């Protein structure tokens, strides 16, 4: 049997995150180049959005006589299951609350980049199930069930290879840690005292939302006992 490949593109995710990536990339190249804090903030957000796009812009399912495997996006994350470890495969429709991405569900895991349709894999040696999103659940389920029936007397085998499970776990944990560190550091970075730099022709207030003011544009400078009332915030 030749390897069969099924590709589903994450249309919704691309429609949402691609414009966001372009917007924050432009902000990084314009506002970010004026101030280091802005550069760190906008470039971090741009990088996170790019990672999401690369991870979830598609899902590829491959089937041969020995393995059923799938990969998300550029292929950094994926899993492989031996046919002889499977008990059954059926087409399912996910509840809308399951959403998109990688999710822990009550009795297993779901991997999905678009729509509500998926296949559900159940295993001989464990109770948990795996749902993999696809736009051709019926066709894929029929192929896998034929392979399961053909290898019905095969020895049971663990659903995942040890190496792939270990590598994927490190990738997920590492990415989550990086994202959280960035999100935690940004508020601390933003709460630093602003710096005022006086030049010959202008004064520069260095901050996340810094500004440069020319002396010729200033009518009057005074001190205030209290800050004025803040009526609206733009950040």
pLDDT 10s digits, 16-61: 889 989 988 888 888 766 667 777 888 888 888 898 888 889 999 9
SS3 53: helix
Give φ, ψ of 104 to 5 degrees.
-90, 120
SS3 185: helix
Q: What contacts 128, CB < 8 A, 6 or more positions away?
A: 107, 108, 109
Q: Could you tell me the two tokens for 223? A: 């001190």
pLDDT 10s digits, 136-150: 999 999 999 999 888
pLDDT 10s digits, 56-115: 899 999 999 889 999 998 888 889 999 989 999 999 999 888 888 888 888 899 999 988
């Amino acid at each position: 049997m030749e390897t069969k490949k099924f590709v589903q593109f994450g249309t919704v995710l691309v429609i949402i995150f691609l414009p966001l990536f372009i917007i924050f990339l432009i902000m990084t190249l314009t506002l970010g180049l004026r101030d280091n804090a802005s550069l760190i903030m906008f470039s971090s957000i741009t990088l996170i959005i790019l990672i999401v796009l690369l991870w979830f812009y598609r899902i590829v399912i491959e089937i041969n006589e020995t393995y059923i495997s799938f990969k998300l996006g550029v292929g950094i994350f994926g899993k492989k299951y031996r046919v002889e470890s499977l008990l059954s495969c059926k087409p399912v429709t996910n509840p809308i609350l399951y959403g998109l991405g990688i999710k822990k569900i009550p009795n297993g895991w779901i991997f999905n980049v678009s729509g509500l349709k998926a296949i559900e894999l159940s295993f001989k040696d464990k109770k948990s199930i795996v749902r993999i999103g696809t736009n051709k659940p019926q066709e894929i389920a029929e192929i896998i069930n034929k392979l399961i029936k053909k290898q019905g007397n095969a020895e049971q085998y663990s659903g995942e290879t040890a190496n792939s499970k270990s590598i994927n776990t490190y990738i997920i944990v590492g990415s989550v840690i990086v994202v959280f560190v960035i999100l935690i550091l940004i508020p601390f970075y933003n709460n630093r005292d602003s710096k005022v730099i006086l030049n010959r022709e202008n004064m520069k207030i260095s901050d996340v939302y810094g500004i440069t003011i020319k002396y010729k544009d200033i009518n009057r400078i005074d001190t205030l006992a209290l800050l004025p009332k803040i009526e609206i915030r733009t950040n």
